[in-house]
Amino acid sequence: MKANPRDVLTGVHYIDGDVAAGYGVLAAGCKFVAGYPITPSTEAAETFARVAPKGNAMFIQMEDELASISAVIGASFAGVKSMTITSGPGYTLMMEAIGFGAMLETPFVLLNIQRGGPSTGVPTKTGQADMMQSRWGSHGDYEIIAISPDSPQELFDYTIKAFNLAEMYRCPVMIMSDECVGHMTEKVVIPPAEEIELEPRRLYNGPPGEYLPFKPDGDFIPKMVKAGAGYNLYISGHVHDERGYPVTNEEFKSVYLRRLVDKIRRNKDKIIELKEENTDDAEVIVVSYGISSRVAVRGIEKAREKGIKIGNLRLVTVWPFPDEKIIDLAKTTKAFVVPEINYGQIAFEVERCCHGRANVVLVPHSGAGVHNPDDIYDAIVFAAKEKKKIEGIVEYKTKLEKLVFEGGFKLKE
């Protein structure tokens, strides 16, 4: 299915990431956005509110984030593509309903413009510390898809992709961007509508009497109907059978709940998108995502100039995690360097998949800023020189840490 030309603002724009995301939402055919103001994501919501009438779409500002995401799930069952836009604290408030959405196999998209945390933290500055939360934040077992764009152009492109994945796998899809990308202004090229491929909703067309809302197709994913189409749908957040009726039997749990994780785990290869560069014969590979992968480029180039065989693996899809890729690369490389704006999240996943074959060097950052590329370079040099296998993650001591904790530094307001 092609995008509707009415929704696509074709042309070359010079806009920031939040605005690009707003345009992407419209181009993806999304007709319902519910949100609540939160820095630094508001521009995306404001943009959509402004352009929504053009696409016959609707923006509603709800009374809080709990209500926003609940409205989004409702709208999705009403038959329209829907999403919400938020940042850290709002994202946390959505946790209850994210699990609910996963349980109901609701297609929807969530844009999280990450900021410095925990709690209120630094609202106006960047962070990447919600990555594990996106996977594990709600109670119970489920799987989601998370994408991490690194430029305004990607915020446009991957917003569309996120909607496509949500419709294809009937699960919440998280766009885990950050303040830096959200507020970065760059050239964004929006192609004509006929070049934008959209995934239509997988609708059931049979007679109402035979419809089972949770009977999976061959690829584990059931078909949907629109509320109000005469199917007398019953949907419940309880563990349910194919009819959607609550069951309390233990075996059903492993049958029906298992599908919630299996539909992602078994389709992993189709979902995961990575960007790889010179990883084949690399002695050190930088694994990064989002804004950190752009900062890493300078460290990587510098290392290459110094003759280090350096590879670059960028996780466009962070969840599901590319286990197999890391396992393979760990067999040929000496070490992974993982720069991220937190104190180790995805680095743990890399460590897990290394199986002791390669060292893992974490270059942490507190948030409220991005890495100093020299830190990444230094970590690469360290990783290239180190001959021993080191158990556990090596946390690289950054210049920021040395500045703040060594030698009588005084905080300035």
Partner 1 sequence: METLKTKKMKEVHPMEDVLRMNRIPHIWCPGCGIGLAVTAFAAALEKAKIDLNKVAIVSGIGCTGRVAGYIKLDSFHTTHGRAIAFATGIKVANPDLKVVVFSGDGDLISIGGNHFIHAARRNIDMLVVCVNNFIYAMTGGQVAPTTPLAAYATTCPFGSVEPPINIPYLADSSGAVYVARWTTLHIRRLTNSFIEALDKKGFSVVEVISPCPQYYSRINRLGDGLDMMKFYHDNTEIRHGEDTKNLDIGFQGKIIMGKFIDRERPSYTERFD
Partner 2 sequence: MKTDPKGVLVGSHYLSGNHACAEGALSAGCRFLSVYPIMPALEVSERFLARAKEVGATFIQMEDEISTLAAVLGASWTGKKSMTVTSGPGLSLMMENLGLGVMLETPCVIVDIQSVGPGLGLPNRPSQGDMMQARWGSHGDYEIIALAPSSPQEMFDFTIKAFNLSEHYRVPVAVMSDEYVAHLKEKVVIPPANKIEIEPRRYYEGPKDSYLPFKRDEDLVPRMVDIGEGYKFHVTGLTHDDRGYPIMNEECQEYNVHPLVWKIRNYVDNIIEVQEVHVEDAEVIIISYGATSRAALKAMEQARNSGIKVGSLKLDTVWPFPEKRVAELAKKVKAFAVPEMNFGQIVLEVERCSYGNANVFFVHHGEKGVENTDNILSAVKQAAQQNSVKDGIIECE
CB atoms within 10 A of CB 254: 10
Least distance CB 350 / partner 2 (angstroms): 9
When binding is defined by CB under 8 A, the residue of 41, 133, 148, 317 that contacts partner 2 is 133
403 forms part of the interface with partner 2 (CB under 8 A): yes
Q: Under rule CB under 8 A, which residues in 98-127 are in contact with partner 2?
A: 99-100, 102-104, 114, 116-125, 127
Q: Which of partner 2, partner 1, none sits in contact with 368, Cβ below 5 to 8 A by type? A: partner 2
Q: What angle do CA 308, 314, 320 make, to 5 degrees?
A: 135
Near partner 1 by CB under 8 A, which window of 10-18, 56-64, 107-115, 187-195?
56-64
Nearer Cβ to partner 1, position 123 or 216? 123
Q: Under rule CB under 8 A, which residues in 214-273 are in contact with partner 2?
A: 236-239, 248, 250-251, 253-254, 257-258, 260-261
Q: Which of partner 1, partner 2, none sits in contact with 232, Cβ below 5 to 8 A by type? A: none
Query: Looking only at Cα atoms, what is the longest distance across the chain?
Result: 75
Give the Cα separation of 268 and 254 in Å (integer).
Answer: 20
Give the Cα separation of 188 and 201 in Å (integer).
Answer: 27
Give the Cα separation of 399 and 403 in Å (integer).
Answer: 6
Q: Which of partner 1, partner 2, none sits in contact with 248, Cβ below 5 to 8 A by type? A: partner 2
23 forms part of the interface with partner 1 (CB under 8 A): no
Nearer Cβ to partner 1, position 54 or 402? 54
Q: Which of partner 1, partner 2, none sits in contact with 186, Cβ below 5 to 8 A by type? A: none
> What number of chain residues touch partner 1 (CB under 8 A)?
19
When binding is defined by CB under 8 A, the residue of 3, 16, 19, 36 that contacts partner 1 is 36
Near partner 1 by CB under 8 A, which window of 36-44, 132-140, 264-272, 374-382?
36-44
Start-to-end CA span in the chain (Å): 53
Give the Cα separation of 154 and 160 in Å (integer).
Answer: 10
Q: Closest by alpha carbon to 90, among 124, 114, 122? A: 114
* DSSP sequence for 38-64: -TTTHHHHHHHHHHGGGGT-EEEE-SS
Give the Cα separation of 195 and 9 in Å (integer).
Answer: 13
Nearer Cβ to partner 2, position 8 or 102? 102
Q: Under rule CB under 8 A, which residues in 356-375 are in contact with partner 2?
A: 356-357, 365-369
Near partner 1 by CB under 8 A, which window of 59-67, 301-309, 362-370, 374-382?
59-67
Residues shown for the chain: 413
Binding map of partner 1 across residues 79-98, x = CB under 8 A, - = no contact:
----------x---------
What six digits make up the tokens of 145?
């898809």
Q: How far is CA 304 from the centre of its chain?
A: 30
Least distance CB 49 / partner 1 (angstroms): 5
Backbone φ and ψ of 274, nearest 5°: -130, 155
Instruction: Please confirm whether the linkage preceding 200 is cis (ω < 30° from 0).
Output: no
Contacts of 193 (CB under 8 A, 6+ apart): 2, 3, 4, 5, 7, 8, 10, 27
When binding is defined by CB under 8 A, the residue of 1, 54, 61, 203 that contacts partner 1 is 61
* Binding stretches for partner 1 (CB under 8 A): 35-39, 42, 45-46, 49-50, 53, 59, 61, 63-65, 89, 119-120
